[in-house]
């Protein structure tokens, strides 16, 4: 999509909440089985799995990746597994394994016991990676709810999910509209060195990928009502005001410190 110039290796795909790095397609926060938690909140939605699969399939047909990285929160229920997840996650992995040569999962905080959902015949093709980071040639990948391993900071780009980033606008009726967005931030060396001691530091960019599932809700970066999630944020390691915000179509909205903050007038 060209406009996200800062990102050297990881390329967001225009209009889609996915990214690519060479022949790899990266999908974050599928939250398969979210219907059940929505139902507990009194919101009834039909089963989303087929819809999600169709959306993924369309992207695979366009991009023709060789590998897929599922960047965590593949499933929704914490703790444990719902009957729906038990049934549908093996089917999803089978479906994906027919399209690509390898599937890597960097587990999220919702993915306890996900290893047990990989069908035996897919043990070669589906790889459950280290929660503290999958490090490839050009970039590192993790869900973002844990501190990564030290080597992650040797890379120029670190991709995480977990926050489900959105940006809030006020429409003409003074309603707040949230749109999914990409965040590209710099990490600060000082708090990270306080945590790790001596490190190989390549001034990595922290790229935050939006959630693939559009029913998850998210954290509004310009109008947060919750705090940002994960140790990078909790430790003050992210240059938040300087972070750059892009819509899914590639539109650059500016740095977070310069964006308007619409006021949420009636809190739920
Ligand atoms: Fe998530
Ligand atoms: Mn998460």
- The DSSP code sequence of 109-176 is TT-TTGGGGS-GGGTTTEEE--TT-EE-SS-EE--SSSPPPGGGGGSSEEEE-SS-EEEEEE-TTS-E
Tally of structural domains, the chain: 1
Asked whether 250 and 12 are in contact (CB, 8 A), the reply is yes
112: containing domain? 11-258
Query: Under 8 Å CB-to-CB from 62, ≥6 apart: which residues?
Result: none
Asked if residue 4 is part of any domain, the answer here is no
Pick the ligand that lies closest to the CA of residue 111.
2
In-domain check, residue 264: no
Those residues of the chain that have pLDDT short of 50 are 1-2
**Quick one: pLDDT at residue 225?**
79
In terms of Cα–Cα distance, which of 182, 31, 201 is closest to 109? 31
Kindly identify the ligand whose nearest atom is closest to the C-alpha of 76.
Answer: 1
* 45 CA from centroid of ligand 2 (Å): 21
Determine the distance separating the centroid of ligand 2 and the alpha carbon of 20, expressed in angstroms: 20
Residue 117 alpha carbon to ligand 2 centre in Å: 18
Q: How far is the CA of 111 from the centre of ligand 1 (A)?
A: 10
Residue 30 lies in a domain: yes
Q: How far is the CA of 156 from the centre of ligand 1 (A)?
A: 24
Residue 163 lies in a domain: yes
Is 141 within the bounds of a domain?
yes
Is residue 1 one of the residues assigned to a domain? Answer: no
Q: How far is the CA of 161 from the centre of ligand 2 (A)?
A: 7
The ligand minimizing its distance to the Cα of 215 is 1
- Distance (angstroms) between ligand 2 centre and the Cα of 242 equals 24
Residues around the ion ligand 2 (C-beta < 5 A): 73, 108-109, 162
Q: Which ligand is nearest to the CA of 211?
A: 1
Q: Closest-lying ligand to the alpha carbon of 107?
A: 2
Q: 193 C-alpha to center of ligand 1: Å?
A: 27
pLDDT at 2: 45
The pLDDT score that the predictor gives to residue 174 is 86
Give domain status of residue 232, yes or no: yes
């Amino acid at each position: 999509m060209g406009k996200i110039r800062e990102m050297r290796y990881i390329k967001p795909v225009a209009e889609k909440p996915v990214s690519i790095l060479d022949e790899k397609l990266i999908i974050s926060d599928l939250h398969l089985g979210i219907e059940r938690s929505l139902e507990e909140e009194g919101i009834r939605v039909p089963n989303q799995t087929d819809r999600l699969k169709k959306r993924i399939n369309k992207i695979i047909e366009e991009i023709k990746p060789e590998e897929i990285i599922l960047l965590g929160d593949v499933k929704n229920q914490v703790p444990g597994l719902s009957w729906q997840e038990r049934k549908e996650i093996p089917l999803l992995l089978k479906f994906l394994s027919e399209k690509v040569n390898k599937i890597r999962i960097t587990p999220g905080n919702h993915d306890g016991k996900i290893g047990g959902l990989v069908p035996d015949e897919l043990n070669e093709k589906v790889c459950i990676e280290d929660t503290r980071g999958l490090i490839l040639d050009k970039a590192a990948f993790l869900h973002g709810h844990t501190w990564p391993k030290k080597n992650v900071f040797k890379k120029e780009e670190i991709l995480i999910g977990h926050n489900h980033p959105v940006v809030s606008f006020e429409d003409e009726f003074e309603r707040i509209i949230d749109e999914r967005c990409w965040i590209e931030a710099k990490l600060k060396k000082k708090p990270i060195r306080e945590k790790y001691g001596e490190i190989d530091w390549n001034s990595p960019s922290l790229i935050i990928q939006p959630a693939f599932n559009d029913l998850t809700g998210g954290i509004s970066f310009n109008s947060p009502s919750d705090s940002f999630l994960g140790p990078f944020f909790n430790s003050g390691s992210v240059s938040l005001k300087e972070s750059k915000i892009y819509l899914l179509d590639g539109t650059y909205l500016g740095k977070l410190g310069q964006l308007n903050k619409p006021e949420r007038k009636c809190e739920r």
